[in-house]
Amino acid sequence: MEPLALLVALAVMASVTLLVIGISQVRGSGQWVLTRRLEYFSRGETSRPGGGGDESLLRRADHGRLGPLAGILGGSRQVESSALALDRAGIPLRVGEYMALRVAVAMLLLLVTLLLTRNWIIALPAAPIGYFLPRWYVGRRRRSRQAKINGQLEEMLTLVANSLKSGYGLLQSFEYASRQISPPLANELKRMLQEASLGAGAEVAIQSLANRIASPDMEMVVTAIAIQRSVGGNLAQTLDNVAYTIRERDRIRGEIKTLTAQQRMTGVVIGALPIFVGLIMFAMNPDYMSPLFTETVGKILLLIAVGMEVMGVFLIRRMMTFEV
């Protein structure tokens, strides 16, 4: 057997093994995780050891049953940020499984590129690209989920305020709101109520909810609740005011998006124009464009052009971003 074929076979076997382990952990670990969480609260602990406050009370830094890999990842700060990112994205993976998935994707992309090109110089950059692809997906999923939650906050606050006016307690009002609204915010509210029912306390559970959502609007809600519970006052009226503020901020964001739509489209056209013209010229006269890919000076100029394109896109995005 050729060395390349042997290497490919071993890498495919390792990648498939890691994927099977990750999938089996996701599908079969629900009861095990529930038991671990109940044991954690039965010992009377209401926060993570070490005083970390960024994770949910019900989600410990559990890195998955992956043996030495979990031990290696256990002391890294990257583990905590990865666990929080998975939590905010709503992805039911533990850190060990997530890291194993990233390694498996990197190996698979490397092997596919190597089989297609038979060139290690071209195939090697595919490994880091594959390693960061799951991270990019988690970030995109987190931003999408956070946007959906932000769009539901106003409705949730209105329901909670109306429930408080009807004589319900704070947690009862959140429970009523969790039954009336749709996921993903409904799932987060139910999780917060579970934490409170296990003895965490209303303020701690609400703060844990804010940490998971990581939204400035939710931070404003938590601050309003904390102030009211400390000094008193009409919480229903306060939440109505917060809902009005969120509604006005959304309106202003919509107006800004409308006013800057032409500028954003101009940036897209200007950024795509060099690529479009280059492709047309390459199709019409390949010999004229070939020095960019064959000569050293042409490769340098091509890299400079790509860098300037990326810089231009970044600058336009920064110019079109406004904090409200």
- Residue holding tokens 């006269």? 285
pLDDT at 48: 42
Share of the chain above pLDDT 70, in %: 76
Mean pLDDT across 108-125? 81
Q: Give the pLDDT confidence of 134-193 residue by residue, as tens digits.
A: 999 999 999 898 888 888 888 889 999 999 888 888 888 889 998 999 888 888 889 889
Q: Whole-prediction pTM value? A: 0.65
Mean pLDDT across 86-101? 85
Task: Give the integer Cα–Cα distance in Å for 69 and 74.
Answer: 9
The Cβ of residue 211 has, within 10 Å, a number of other Cβ atoms equal to: 19
3 state DSSP class of 272: helix
pLDDT at 46: 44
Mean pLDDT across 108-113? 87
Helices and strands counted in the chain (H then E): 16, 0
- For residue 41, give the nearest of 56, 63, 26 by alpha carbon: 56
Fold type of domain 146-258? Receptor-associated Protein (1.20.81)
Residues 6+ apart with CB under 8 A from 20: none
Query: What are the sequence ranges of the domains in the chain?
Result: 3-142, 146-258, 260-319
98: tokens are 């997530």
Residue 47 clears pLDDT 60, i.e. is over it: no
Residue 68 clears pLDDT 70, i.e. is over it: no
**117 touches 123 (CB < 8 A):** yes
Mean pLDDT across 60-89? 62
pLDDT at 137: 92
296: tokens are 């050293």
29 vs 23 pLDDT, higher one: 23
List, as one string, the DSSP characters of 191-257.
HHHHHIIIII-HHHHHHHHHHHH--HHHHHHHHHHHHHHHH---HHHHHHHHHHHHHHHHHHHHHHH
Residue 256 clears pLDDT 60, i.e. is over it: yes
pLDDT at 233: 78
Out of 32-36, 88-92, 163-167, 307-311, least confident range: 32-36
**235 touches 228 (CB < 8 A):** yes
pLDDT at 54: 42
pLDDT at 42: 46
Out of 116-125, 164-173, 215-224, least confident range: 116-125
Torsion 293-295-298-302 (CA) sign: positive
In the chain, the largest separation of any two C-alpha atoms, in whole Å, equals 79
φ, ψ of residue 235 in degrees (nearest 5):
-70, -35
186: tokens are 């409904």
Binned at pLDDT 50, 70 and 90, residue 253 comes out as confident
Highest average pLDDT, of 88-92, 135-139, 309-313, 319-323, comes from 135-139
pLDDT at 146: 87
Torsion 103-104-108-111 (CA) sign: positive
